[in-house]
Chain A
Amino acid sequence: MGSQTAIRKNNNVIPFPYEELIMIKKEMISRNPLNNLGFAGEDILPNGGLGAVLAHAGLGKTALLVQMALNTMFQEKPVLHVSLNDAVSKVDVWYRELFNDISEGNDPAEIAEFWEKIQIYRFIMTFRVEGFSVPKLEERLTDLMQQNIFKPHTMIIDGLKFDESGRGLLFQLKEMAKLFGMRIWFTVHTHRHEPPKEDGLPLSFLHVEDLFDVLVQLAAKGPKVYIKALKGQSPEAKKEALELEPSTMLIQD
Chain B
Amino acid sequence: MKQDDQKIRNIGISAHIDSGKTTLSERILFYTKRIHAIHDVKGKDGVGATMDSMELEKERGITIASAATYCEWKGHEVNIIDTPGHVDFTIEVERSLRVLDGAILVLCSVGGVQSQSITVDQQMKRYKVPCIAFINKCDRSGANPFRVIGQLRAKLGHNAVAMQIPIGLENELQGVVDLVTMKAVYFDGASGEEVRVSDIPDHLLEEAKAKREELIDAASLFSDELTEAILEEQDIPAEMLYAAVRKGTLKREITPVYMGSAYKNKGVQPLLDGVTHLLPAPSEVENVALDMNNNEAPVALTSDPDKPIIALAFKLEDGQYGQLTYIRVYEGTVEKGATIVNVRNGKKIKVGRVVRMHADQMEDVDSLRAGYIGALFGIECASGDTFVSPGINMTMTSMYVPKPVISLAIVPKDNKSQMSMSKALNRFSKEDPTFKAYVDPETNETIIEGMGELHLDIYVERMKREYGAEVTTGNPRVAYRETITQRADFNYTHKKQTGGAGQFGRIAGYIEPISDAEFIFENEIFGGSIPTQYIPACEKGFRESMAKGPKLEFPITGVKVVINDGASHAVDSSDMAFQAAARGAFRDAYLRAKPVIHEPIMKVVVETPTEFQGPVMGLLNQRRGMIVGSQDEGVMSVVEAQVPLAEMFGFSTILRSSTQGKAQFTMEFAQYRQVPQSVAEKIAAEVAQNKKTAA
Contact = CB atoms under 8 A, between A and B. Distances in A.
Interface of A: 8, 11-14, 81, 87-89, 91-92, 108-109, 112, 116, 119-120, 123-128, 131-132, 136, 140, 143-144, 147-150
A8 B626 contact: yes
A127 B631 CA distance: 6
B444 interface: no
B614 interface: yes
Interface string B593-636: 00000000000000000000110011001001011111111100
Nearest to B644: A12
A218 to B, nearest CB: 25
A123 B629 contact: yes
B515 interface: yes
Contact of A112 (B515, B629, B631, B678): B515
Interface string B223-240: 000000000000000000
B624 A143 contact: no
A149 B613 CA distance: 13
Given A140-B613, A149-B618, A149-B621, A88 B629 contact: yes
Contacts of A109: 515-516
B684 to A, nearest CB: 17
B674 interface: yes
A92 B629 contact: yes
A98 to B, nearest CB: 16
A149 B627 contact: yes
B654 to A, nearest CB: 16
Interface in B496-523: 515-516
15 contacts: A88-B628, A92-B628, A108-B515, A108-B516, A109-B515, A123-B627, A123-B628, A126-B630, A126-B632, A131-B634, A140-B632, A143-B613, A144-B617, A147-B621, A148-B621
A119 B627 CA distance: 10
Nearest to B632: A127
Interface in B277-317: none
A125 B614 CA distance: 13
A91 B629 CA distance: 10
B613, B624, B628, B632: residue with the most chain A Cβ atoms closer than 10 Å = B632
A126 B629 contact: yes
B626 A88 contact: no
User: In this complex, which of B613, B621, B640, B674 has the most chain A Cβ atoms within 10 angstroms of its Cβ?
Assistant: B621
Contacts of A92: 628-629
A128 B633 contact: yes
Interface in B620-674: 621, 624, 626-634, 638, 640, 673-674
Contacts of B673: 116
Contact of A124 (B516, B621, B628, B676): B628
A120 B630 CA distance: 14
Where chain A touches its partner, the secondary structure class is helix
Given A88-B640, A123-B627, A131 B632 contact: yes
- A-B CB proximity, top 9 nearest: A124-B629, A109-B515, A88-B629, A143-B614, A127-B632, A126-B631, A147-B618, A149-B621, A12-B676
A23 B515 CA distance: 21
B617 A120 contact: no
A147 B614 CA distance: 9
B638 to A, nearest CB: 7
Given A128-B632, A140-B630, A143-B617, A88 B638 contact: yes
A242 to B, nearest CB: 32
Nearest to A132: B632
Contacts of A143: 613-614, 617
A219 B624 CA distance: 44
B67 to A, nearest CB: 32
Contacts of B516: 108-109
A231 B629 CA distance: 32
Contact of B617 (A11, A124, A131, A149): A149
A170 to B, nearest CB: 20
Given A140-B614, A143-B614, A144-B617, 11 more contacts: A81-B629, A89-B640, A123-B627, A123-B629, A124-B629, A125-B629, A126-B629, A126-B631, A128-B633, A140-B613, A140-B632
B646 to A, nearest CB: 13
Nearest to B634: A131
B631 A87 contact: yes
A194 to B, nearest CB: 28
Contacts of B633: 128, 131
A125 B632 contact: yes
A128 B676 contact: no
Contacts of B627: 123, 149-150
A21 B516 CA distance: 21
A122 to B, nearest CB: 8
A51 to B, nearest CB: 22
A92 B515 CA distance: 23
Nearest to A124: B629
Contact of A13 (B629, B634, B676): B676
B632 A14 contact: no
A126 B627 CA distance: 13
